[in-house]
Structure 1
Amino acid sequence: MSAARRLLIVNADDYGLTDGIARGVLRAHRDGVLTSTSVLAVGPAVRRTARWLADAPALGVGAHLALIGVDPPLLTRREIPTLVTRDGGFPREWRRFLARAAAGRIDPADVERELDAQVERLVGECGLNLTHLDTHQHLHLWPPVADVVVALARRWRIGAVRLPSSRAGGPKGAGIRRLSAGVRRRLTAAGLVSPGAYAGLDEAGRLTLPTFRSALERLTESSATAAEINCHPGEAADPEASARYEWGFARAGELDALTSPELRDAVDHLGWRLGTYADLARETPAEPR
């Protein structure tokens, strides 16, 4: 494969949430184009499924850091009082978190304590060698969370961070792009790397084959030398995911797309080579300014 080909990272989120999601991720890597996954330290299945990653040494592994969701934080309410609701859990979704943050009710020190504990679980308890950091529902687009994620990446010597963005119209899309530009400035100043192009936020949960091909073609039109497509595969029969998580993601459809020979042919035809965040960090070293 030509060295001039651009690097494509295909990363699956939510590893460790359920056994079915973990098995779907591993199949998408073994039989398809998936190159990387982000592990959820607060996921109910993380301790069990983290061991399965040893059988996939070529799969890049990052941390999917969580400050929201139905699964509880690692630390107690006393340790992170501004992050939790009355029942000691996280806010269920990003709007509630951002409303609290915008009102000044989130202490960045609490964010750092909890997210550091999550990295510690993945590295220390699970024995994972992390290639990158990202966040559940992209909360590191919010500047105070971005600052914490950058600090953690440097502390744990993790060289890369996801840079999500959006092509959506209207105020929401414009706001995401503005926040994304701020994250990029922070990463560059800290000597951290991220792909120059991204897809997956707008298409979350519905990257079936036509949508995946469309996203790939759009990334090909960019001038970026590296790109990420962020996806959410899983098994079709996963009652635990259906019962606990009401996201409506087409996980089985995404798995079908990722393992489709047509998609692999499209990746090759459009001039991409598959790789991981470790490849990105090795090939595009950044220096602090």
Structure 2
Amino acid sequence: MNNKLNAISTFLRVAEAGSFSAAARQSGMKQSAISQQIAALEEALGVVLLHRTTRVMVLTEQGERYRHDMQILLDAMREAERRLNPAEPEFQGKVHVQLPSGLGQLFLPHLLLLQKMHPGLQLRLSLDDRLADLVTEQVDVALRLSHEPPNAHPARVLARIETALFAAPDFNPVHSVDELAAHPHVRFSGIGPDAPLRLVCGDETIDVKVNTVFRANNSDALLQALEAGIGIGGMQRPLAARALQSGRLVPVLPAYRLPDRFLYAVYPDARFIPQRVRSIIRMIEQVLPEITGNR
């Protein structure tokens, strides 16, 4: 049993390192010993876990599934051992967190402080509006903005995020929804170019056809376009807060807003969530009122 656990740990190390040679350097083992352990594990399982040549190593479909399941089991074993010694730091080990590019910048100082305070923690951050494949990209937790929870993975709502319309202060004033179509607009590139702008006011929801002149795939570019006076656009209130305070942006039709989205913590698997991951999400929840302005 112990030999099999060692072989599983070696397999996970190879999968993470990306090659036998890299795993050998990291572990201090001989490359031939690593190759023998993987071969013995494949023989015991009756499946091929890795396709390997002299240059590349790629997980097979069965290998990726096995990696995912075994990582959960080994993490659970380590967590059980950690609980036997409560004095052991809770912020310890590797954690891969994916964050939206805009809100991620607001969380970044808090995460950097956490890393500085806990040297045993090994944070890997992905600030990306793209929706990562949590399993294949080995993401421990992703923060995602969505109108509804994802179907493929377990998720927990952390906050409601409002999005409103903004423009530069010298932009032509807008007095009614009907006037929006006459002005250029700035929009996220993930929205279809011909999709109407949906606005909410109380119980009323309306769709407005607008002239989109600038599109970008991240919030920072959209914010800079709004401040440059290129057009009117929707922006999450936390991201627009500083520009509003400094006068670089002003609200447009403040009685209206875009449909609310929710910030979710999304996990690759609910069967086991390591304590270090739970602790990071707990810290994020603690700073959310400061970031969203909902104290």
TM-score range, shorter chain: under 0.3
Per the normalisation by structure 1, the TM-score is 0.28
The structure whose Rg is larger is 2
* Structure with the larger strand share: 2
Higher relative contact order (CA 8 A, sep 6+): 1
* Structure with the larger helix share: 1
Per the normalisation by structure 2, the TM-score is 0.27
